[in-house]
Protein backbone atom coordinates (compact mmCIF):
# COMPACT_ATOMS: atom_id res chain seq x y z
CA UNK A 1 0.00 0.00 0.00
CA UNK A 2 1.29 3.44 -0.93
CA UNK A 3 1.82 5.83 2.00
CA UNK A 4 2.44 9.52 2.57
CA UNK A 5 6.09 9.96 3.56
CA UNK A 6 5.67 12.86 5.98
CA UNK A 7 2.90 14.86 7.67
CA UNK A 8 3.43 17.90 9.89
CA UNK A 9 1.19 18.98 12.79
CA UNK A 10 1.59 22.61 13.92
CA UNK A 11 -0.33 23.10 17.17
CA UNK A 12 0.46 24.22 20.71
CA UNK A 13 -2.35 22.27 22.39
CA UNK A 14 -0.95 18.93 23.60
CA UNK A 15 -4.40 17.32 23.69
CA UNK A 16 -5.16 18.18 20.07
CA UNK A 17 -1.66 17.15 19.01
CA UNK A 18 -2.08 13.79 20.74
CA UNK A 19 -5.51 13.15 19.17
CA UNK A 20 -4.51 14.26 15.66
CA UNK A 21 -1.28 12.26 15.81
CA UNK A 22 -3.13 9.16 17.06
CA UNK A 23 -5.73 9.43 14.27
CA UNK A 24 -2.96 9.78 11.68
CA UNK A 25 -1.14 6.74 13.09
CA UNK A 26 -4.34 4.68 13.16
CA UNK A 27 -5.04 5.49 9.50
CA UNK A 28 -1.97 3.53 8.42
CA UNK A 29 -1.45 6.02 5.57
CA UNK A 30 1.61 7.90 6.91
CA UNK A 31 5.25 6.89 7.39
CA UNK A 32 6.40 9.75 9.65
CA UNK A 33 4.85 12.65 11.61
CA UNK A 34 6.64 15.77 12.79
CA UNK A 35 5.11 18.06 15.40
CA UNK A 36 5.87 21.75 15.85
CA UNK A 37 4.49 23.76 18.78
CA UNK A 38 4.12 27.12 17.03
CA UNK A 39 4.41 28.75 13.63
CA UNK A 40 8.02 29.90 14.12
CA UNK A 41 9.12 26.40 15.12
CA UNK A 42 7.34 25.00 12.05
CA UNK A 43 8.87 27.59 9.73
CA UNK A 44 12.38 26.94 11.07
CA UNK A 45 11.93 23.16 10.85
CA UNK A 46 10.60 23.28 7.28
CA UNK A 47 13.19 25.85 6.19
CA UNK A 48 15.93 23.48 7.43
CA UNK A 49 14.38 20.58 5.48
CA UNK A 50 14.45 22.73 2.33
CA UNK A 51 18.04 23.86 2.96
CA UNK A 52 19.18 20.29 3.64
CA UNK A 53 17.26 19.06 0.56
CA UNK A 54 15.29 16.58 2.67
CA UNK A 55 11.72 15.42 2.08
CA UNK A 56 9.06 17.95 2.95
CA UNK A 57 5.67 17.05 4.38
CA UNK A 58 2.93 16.37 1.88
CA UNK A 59 0.35 17.69 4.35
CA UNK A 60 0.47 20.29 7.13
CA UNK A 61 -2.26 20.47 9.77
CA UNK A 62 -2.01 24.08 10.99
CA UNK A 63 -3.59 25.61 14.08
CA UNK A 64 -4.25 29.36 13.91
CA UNK A 65 -4.03 30.47 17.55
CA UNK A 66 -0.56 29.77 18.93
CA UNK A 67 2.14 31.67 20.82
CA UNK A 68 5.32 33.05 19.20
CA UNK A 69 3.97 32.90 15.60
CA UNK A 70 0.32 32.14 14.96
CA UNK A 71 -0.87 30.23 11.91
CA UNK A 72 -1.25 33.37 9.82
CA UNK A 73 2.33 34.51 10.51
CA UNK A 74 3.52 31.02 9.54
CA UNK A 75 1.57 31.14 6.27
CA UNK A 76 2.88 34.61 5.42
CA UNK A 77 6.48 33.48 5.79
CA UNK A 78 6.13 29.89 4.57
CA UNK A 79 4.61 30.96 1.24
CA UNK A 80 7.88 32.83 0.51
CA UNK A 81 9.96 29.62 0.60
CA UNK A 82 10.60 28.25 -2.90
CA UNK A 83 9.26 24.69 -2.85
CA UNK A 84 9.25 22.31 -5.80
CA UNK A 85 6.34 20.05 -4.85
CA UNK A 86 3.08 21.48 -3.52
CA UNK A 87 2.25 20.98 0.15
CA UNK A 88 -1.41 20.74 1.12
CA UNK A 89 -2.19 22.84 4.19
CA UNK A 90 -5.26 22.20 6.32
CA UNK A 91 -6.17 24.86 8.83
CA UNK A 92 -7.26 22.96 11.91
CA UNK A 93 -8.67 25.43 14.40
CA UNK A 94 -11.30 26.02 17.03
CA UNK A 95 -12.11 29.36 15.37
CA UNK A 96 -15.31 29.52 13.38
CA UNK A 97 -14.88 33.30 13.17
CA UNK A 98 -16.06 34.58 9.79
CA UNK A 99 -13.03 36.91 9.56
CA UNK A 100 -10.68 33.91 9.83
CA UNK A 101 -12.63 31.99 7.22
CA UNK A 102 -12.46 35.02 4.89
CA UNK A 103 -8.73 35.41 5.57
CA UNK A 104 -8.23 31.74 4.64
CA UNK A 105 -9.51 32.63 1.15
CA UNK A 106 -6.38 34.79 0.70
CA UNK A 107 -4.35 31.59 0.87
CA UNK A 108 -6.90 29.54 -1.13
CA UNK A 109 -7.54 27.40 1.96
CA UNK A 110 -11.28 27.76 2.47
CA UNK A 111 -11.96 24.18 1.44
CA UNK A 112 -9.18 23.11 3.83
CA UNK A 113 -10.60 24.99 6.84
CA UNK A 114 -11.50 22.45 9.52
CA UNK A 115 -13.05 23.18 12.91
CA UNK A 116 -11.72 21.31 15.95
CA UNK A 117 -12.30 18.76 17.22
CA UNK A 118 -11.55 16.76 14.08
CA UNK A 119 -12.82 13.23 13.78
CA UNK A 120 -10.87 10.11 12.96
CA UNK A 121 -12.89 9.65 9.77
CA UNK A 122 -12.06 13.21 8.63
CA UNK A 123 -8.34 12.56 9.10
CA UNK A 124 -8.56 9.21 7.33
CA UNK A 125 -10.45 10.80 4.39
CA UNK A 126 -7.93 13.66 4.11
CA UNK A 127 -4.98 11.28 4.10
CA UNK A 128 -6.63 8.90 1.62
CA UNK A 129 -7.28 11.83 -0.76
CA UNK A 130 -3.63 12.85 -0.65
CA UNK A 131 -1.91 9.51 -1.21
Domain count of the fold of the chain: 1
CA distances from 51 to 13, 44, 74, 119, 126 (A): 28, 10, 17, 34, 28
CA distances from 81 to 14, 34, 84, 86 (A): 28, 19, 10, 11
> Quick one: CA dihedral 31, 33, 34, 39, positive or negative?
positive
- Give the pairing of strands 59-62 and 88-93: parallel
> Quick one: CA dihedral 30, 34, 36, 42, positive or negative?
negative
Domain range spanning residue 66?
4-129
Q: Enter the DSSP assignment of 70.
A: -
Segment 103-123, tens digit of pLDDT: 888 887 766 899 998 999 999
CATH, residue 34 = 3.40.50.2300
The partner residues of 89 in beta bridges, in order of sequence, read 60
Segment 40-80, tens digit of pLDDT: 999 999 999 999 999 999 999 999 999 999 999 999 999 88
CB contact at 8 A, 17 and 11: yes
Segment 3-14, tens digit of pLDDT: 999 999 999 999
Strand spans (E) along the chain: 4-10, 30-36, 59-62, 88-93, 113-115
The partner residues of 9 in beta bridges, in order of sequence, read 35, 61
Amino acid sequence: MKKIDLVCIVDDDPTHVFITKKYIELSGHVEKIIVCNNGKDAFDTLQKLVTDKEKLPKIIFLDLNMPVWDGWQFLDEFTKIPIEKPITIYILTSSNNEADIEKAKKYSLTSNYLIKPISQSQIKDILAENI
